Structure 1
């Protein structure tokens, strides 16, 4: 057997044993949407990220993210760096969530994360037909183009709706409509939605928005409560440690719904 043939066979063997992220497609896909606390501000101070990622949330070849260019690659924080481009992103709940569900259920296959969150966005900016909504649906559709199934939408948003009373009071109806529109446009009428009840807000109507979030009773809509998790000195964004704790709550909610 000639040396070139040996090298070709060796190359094929290495590819089979250690496929690149480009050769691996996710089986279980999760949409990450909302505003800054979903995009991740853990470890960000004065527009700089400290680059610290909890050990439990370090990169894993079986956890992928969909880039802004719609390519799958190994998920590495900050997940939203090429999505929430007008802000400095740090650690959010996404990678930690994926690590948690895989550690708690080893039978799960390759997990795909689809970052869509953008900071400082009211829920009105996510209404059907808006650029953010269209981008989310487009990215979700692209994520399953080559296979895989969308298992849930993880939604953390509402801080910007706490400033004006009318926005806070309209939150429940706006969120319920958004859930219906997402399910319709993704052709999945029972798609699991896991939303986060606020830990903080930009205005004085935090409790109004929280009540709306906790009061949604649509089928297959779960809510985890971020209240009590540690905030950064801005009193708005979760710390890196809190993002890790939130990810565990999200993971438990997903696994309990299966």
Structure 2
């Protein structure tokens, strides 16, 4: 399997289609199940990936559509094209780790969320190669000037720690720049995200995509678009470089 870690906060875990704490159950064709796409459950078992991907991970809020399935379905054909050997069928393993409402300090080495992400990633790595971490987080760090000012240092430390703890110094990170929120520091966090100066880090920008009425979470349609955007970033920056 080709393994992808999905981490961050609520826009990665997915709130598409969630209204008044209930998910509408609508799954776009781009997010439909595929036997070649699996997810690592909270119990560390592989199962066919189905929306909502984070339902047993981000358990304090209602999960809906996120970018993970749309990403996997967009990437899968390219991975299968590029896999040598007659009769070989490439599978994708998704490792959901995102939890809504979390600040980046909660993803520091030694904190529960960080250690859980690393543990789940190590388990997944026993079944294939970890291809990339998809990271969408930062809304919570726009709450205060202090958190905003420390964001660049914290996100670069996070990337370095994950790479070190997984023994993958060049592990690709594809991060999503903030696209929502009414907080005064959103542009400062975005600037920090675009200022990350580490190899194999790519930032995609969904700014302008449709938001739900809360002006914070991406709609289902926007999550599908974001998934495809993440897939394009992976294919253009990392898949083609290894083929």
- Fold match by TM threshold 0.5: yes
Name the structure 2 match of 1:119: 100
CA–CA distance in structure 2, aligned partners of residues 104 and 136 of structure 1: 27
Partner residue of 1:82?
A: 56
Distance 1:194 1:151 in 2: 11
Q: Please name the residue that 2:86 is paired with.
A: none
Please tell me whether the aligned partners of residues 30 and 69 of structure 2 are also in contact (alpha carbons under 8 angstroms). no
The answer to whether residue 67 in structure 2 is matched with residue 93 in structure 1 is yes
Contact 1:158–1:201 (CA under 8 A) maintained in structure 2: no
Q: Which residue of 2 aligns with 1:164?
A: 144
**Paired residue total:** 231
CA contact (8 A) 2:6 2:96 kept: yes
8 A contact 1:78–1:91 mirrored in 2: yes
Instruction: Pick from 103, 108, 113 the counterpart of residue 77 of structure 2.
Output: 103
Query: Which residue of structure 1 aligns with residue 87 of structure 2?
Result: none
Q: Which residue of 1 aligns with 2:9?
A: 35
Largest Rg, 1 or 2: 1
Q: What is the CA-CA distance between 1:125 and the residue it aligns to?
A: 0.4
Say whether residues 1:256 and 2:230 are aligned partners: no
| Aligned match of 2:153 | 173
SS at match of 1:96: helix
| Aligned twin of 1:184 | 164
Separation of aligned partners in 2, 1:116 and 1:85: 11
Which digits, 9 at most, give the CA deviation of each residue in 1:27-64, with x for residues without a partner?
A: 10000000000000000000000011111220000000
- 1:154 Cα deviation from its structure 2 partner: 0.2
Shift of residue 217 of structure 1?
Answer: 2.2
* Separation in 1, partners of 2:22, 2:156: 36
- The whole-number CA distance in structure 1 between the counterparts of 2:232 and 2:182 is 28
TM-score, L = length of structure 1: 0.88
Q: Hey, what's the Cα distance between the residues in 2 that align with 1:199 and 1:167?
A: 18
Flag as ranges the 4+ runs of structure 1 deviating above 2 A.
103-108
Q: What is the alpha-carbon distance in structure 2 between the residues aligned to residue 86 and residue 198 of structure 1?
A: 22
TM-score, scaled to structure 2: 0.93
Aligned runs of 1:201-212 on 2, under 5 Å?
201=181, 203-212=183-192
CA offset digits 1:191-248 (Å, max 9, x no partner): 0000000001362100000000011121000000011111000000000000000011
Q: Distance in 1 between matches of 2:77 and 2:219?
A: 22
Higher relative contact order (CA 8 A, sep 6+): 2
Structure 1 residues without counterparts, runs of 5 or longer: 1-26
